[in-house]
C-alpha cells in the first residue's frame, strides 16, 4: 500500500503503509482505520490525489478481503475459502468484532471435529 501511495504522491507514504499493516490485523474495521489518515493527507495535496487514494484503497482492500484473505486462511486451516468468507461475515454480523476475530479458529475446530467424528461414527444401512 505504501508504494501505491508513493506513486500517487501522498506524503509520508512509507509511514502510512506501515499504519495500514498495523491496522490490518483488525478484521473489517482495520481497512477503514488504515485508510483515514492517508486519504486526509492526500486531500491536502489535491482533491484529485485524494479521490485517487480513496479509489486505490477501496480497490486494494476489496481484493484483499474478498479474494486473498479467505484463500490464505482457507489453505491454512484446510477449509474452503467461501466458507471462510461466509463464516467471517456471518459471525461478525451476529457477534460483532469478537465474532469476526474468532470465526476462522472456530471453523478450524469444527473441521477437525467433523473429521474426527466421520472416522469414528459409522452408520449402518
DSSP per-residue letters across 11-27: TTHHHHHHHHHHHTTST
In 1-125, at which residue ranges do the beta strands (DSSP E only) sit?
none
Query: Ramachandran region of residue 120, left (φ > 0), alpha (ψ -120 to 50) or beta?
Result: alpha
Q: Does residue 125 lie in a domain region?
A: no
Q: Does residue 108 lie in a domain region?
A: yes
Q: Is 1 helix (H, G, I), strand (E, B) or coil?
A: coil
Q: Does residue 38 lie in a domain region?
A: yes
No. of H helices and E strands in the chain?
Answer: 7, 0
Among candidates 56, 48, 45, which has minimal Cα distance to 17? 56
* Number of neighbouring beta carbons within 10 Å of residue 32: 12
Assess whether pLDDT exceeds 90 at residue 64. Answer: no
Q: Does residue 47 lie in a domain region?
A: yes
Q: What is the mean pLDDT of residues 27-56?
A: 91
Q: What is the mean pLDDT of residues 8-36?
A: 88
Q: Write out the residue range of the structural domain in which residue 90 sits.
A: 2-120
Q: Does residue 45 lie in a domain region?
A: yes
pLDDT, mean over the chain = 90
Q: Say how many domains are in the chain.
A: 1
Residue with the larger pLDDT of the pair 25 and 124: 25
Q: Does residue 26 lie in a domain region?
A: yes
Amino acid at each position: 500500500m505504501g508504494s501505491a501511495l508513493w506513486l500517487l504522491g501522498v506524503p509520508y507514504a512509507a509511514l502510512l503503509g506501515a499504519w495500514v499493516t498495523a491496522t490490518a490485523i483488525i478484521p473489517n474495521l482495520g481497512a477503514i482505520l488504515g485508510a483515514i489518515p492517508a486519504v486526509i493527507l492526500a486531500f491536502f495535496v489535491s482533491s484529485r490525489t485524494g479521490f485517487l487514494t480513496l479509489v486505490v484503497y477501496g480497490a486494494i482492500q476489496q481484493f484483499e478481503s474478498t479474494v486473498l484473505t479467505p484463500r490464505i486462511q482457507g489453505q491454512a486451516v484446510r477449509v474452503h475459502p467461501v466458507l471462510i468468507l461466509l463464516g467471517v461475515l456471518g459471525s461478525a454480523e451476529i457477534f460483532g468484532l469478537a465474532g469476526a476475530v474468532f470465526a476462522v479458529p472456530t471453523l478450524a475446530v469444527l473441521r477437525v471435529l467433523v473429521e474426527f467424528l466421520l472416522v469414528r461414527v459409522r452408520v449402518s444401512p
